[in-house]
Amino acid sequence: MNKLFSILLGGSLLILTACGGGWSTDQKTAVKNKCITNGGYDCDCYVGKAVNTFKSPKEYNKKESKLNDKFETAIKDCEVQVKEEKEENLESF
């Protein structure tokens, strides 16, 4: 019984470690909010590229990650044209 418990515990530990370290919904939302604030990108696309490029938010937050060049190239597909609004002539007093 003790051996069976050890095997089950070890197997569970392996499964949990393999699944950990990914992106949570809250972390994706934080990246999307930052994208919206900065503007110029389709933010759903931006988040998708971030998740596909970086295994975890820790890697995304590293300024000198080796994956930054790959990410910069990937997000070029997410750039959008920003429409400039016409300035209306406002009457000054």
Tell me, yes or no, whether 16 lies in a domain. Answer: no
Kindly state whether residue 40 falls inside one of the protein's structural domains. Answer: yes
Q: Cα(41)–Cα(38) distance, rounded to whole angstroms? A: 8
**C-alpha angle with apex 44: 53 to 46, nearest 5 degrees?**
40
User: What domain range includes position 69?
Assistant: 22-78
Whole-number Cα distances in Å, 11 to 21, 22, 23, 82: 18, 20, 23, 51
Give the Cβ contact number of residue 74 at 10 Å: 17
Q: What is the pLDDT of residues 18-71, one digit of tens each?
A: 455 699 999 999 999 999 999 999 999 999 999 999 999 999 998 777 888 999
87 pLDDT higher than 90: no
Is 30 inside a domain boundary?
A: yes
Query: What pLDDT is recorded for position 15?
Result: 47
Q: How many Cβ atoms sit within 10 Å of the Cβ of residue 81? A: 6
The verdict on residue 37 lying in a domain is yes
For residue 39, being part of any structural domain is answered with yes
Domain count, the chain: 1
